[in-house]
Structure 1
Amino acid sequence: MRYALPLALAMLTAACGGTPALYTVPDAPVVGPRIPAAYATVALREVTLPTYAASAEIHERGPDGALEPARNVLWADDPVRAMTGDLARHLGRITGATVAAEPWPFFERAQATVEVRIADMLAEPDGRFRLTGQYFVAPESGARGRAGQFALEAPIAEGGGPAAIAAARGRTVRDLAMLIAREGLR
């Protein structure tokens, strides 16, 4: 009898919330031929995200337009760190260049620096994941810098949910790397 109340309270707490499920972003395979870069080395600045996207919560836009965090689920990694790492990895695979997130780990400076500013990153009620923003490429030499805007989408698998959102996010980051390689690093 003495342990019945604490046990019942522990079971109720676990049923009401418990530990949130953590979701990673699966690695989206690079498709198509390599896109050579004009630079052998590229530094990637930390990707900037809107406040809601930089939090550990996975957000979706509700039917009324409000951003709502999914209940009892979180990103497994810090979204800024994860986006920056994923983008650097994809840029390196796509271009063949040595790409690393800042701080730049080598003694020689990178030949170019890429900066990405995300404006929107979320699951939409119509079943697509949207990633919008701007990118900037600043060459170390006197070459002309480049800038561009992007609005990318990936379908969220039928049934949705956090795992499907994470997979769609992975595809949009890969597509962003392909766009930067094709238009910004040439």
Structure 2
Amino acid sequence: MTLRPLALSALALLAACGGPGPLLIAVPPAPAEGRVGIGFASVEVLEVSLPAYADGEEIFLQGQGGALTEAGGAVWADDPSRALTLDLSRALGELTGAQTAPDPWPFDDGPEAQVDVRLAEFAPDLTRGAFVLRGQYFVASQDGSGRDRAAEFLVTAPLPPEPGPAAIAAARAQATLTLARQIAAEGLR
């Protein structure tokens, strides 16, 4: 019985000595300006698929020859796949005016289209000076119209020469908005 309070005290002391921990980086949404007309009234965004290195909280920087190194001292504040899915859904809704939501679809009537994004690259690339999103997206019509589409994409958003965590987050938000605009204009027309 007396060991338990002693063990809890020791754990509390170790936690206090552990330092402040990594800096959590939240990604503020980029403001969506202008409208893009699409051919669907409702769009569901499936969970975005990320490459293995980007599917955790660690932030990786891409350098010469594609080498990835962990950005020490900073991590994403939210699960990247979840956050990117929510951000993409929000941006598509703002740009198009359509009813959009991430999977699972929360409304009674089903969506007219589903968007499935699969990324092969999701990193600030220091050699290009840009946050890079590269992959494929798929639009599957759910309304029986047969307007299915698939396309590859490469989206970049500029980074300053010595990007800090806030600049990386802002570039990621801008790249996500650019991808949403491309999907709306080309895949959901």
Q: TM-score when scaled to structure 2?
A: 0.87
**What are the superposed Cα offsets for residues 68-123 of structure 1, whole Å, 9 maximum, x if unpaired?**
11112110001011000000000000000000001000111111111000110111
Superposed, 1:156-171 pairs within 5 Å as 156-171=159-174
Match of 2:104 in 1: 103
**TM-score, normalised by the number of residues in structure 1:** 0.88
How far apart are the structure 1 equivalents of 2:15 and 2:32? 46
* CA distance in 2 between partners of 1:11 and 1:146 (Å): 53
The alpha carbon displacement at 1:64 in A equals 5.4
- Quote how far apart the aligned CAs of 1:60 are: 0.1
2-structure distance, mates of 1:142, 1:11:
60
Cα deviation digits, residues 13-62 of structure 1 (max 9, x gap): 43xxx41100011211113x311111111111000000111110011013
- The within-5 A match list for 1:133-172 is 133-140=135-142, 141-172=144-175
Cα offset, 1:142, TM superposition: 3.0
d(CA) in 2 for partners of 1:117, 1:13? 37
Identity %: 47
Query: For residues 70 and 43 of structure 1, do their structure 2 counterparts lie closer, same or farther at Cα, with a shift above 3 Å needed?
Result: same
1:144: how far off? 2.5
SS in 1 for 2:59: strand
Q: Which moved more, 1:120-129 or 1:168-177?
A: 120-129
CA contact (8 A) 1:58 1:162 kept: no
Gapped runs of 5+ residues in structure 1? 1-5
What does 1:53-68 correspond to in 2, within 5 Å?
53-63=54-64, 65-68=66-69
Bigger CA drift: 172-181 or 162-171?
Answer: 162-171
CA RMSD of aligned residues (A): 1.8
Cα pair distance change 1:100/1:10, threshold 3 Å: closer
Which structure 1 residue ranges, 4+ long, deviate > 4 Å from structure 2?
A: 9-13
Worse overlay, 172-181 or 34-43: 34-43
Q: Which residue of 1 aligns with 2:183?
A: 180
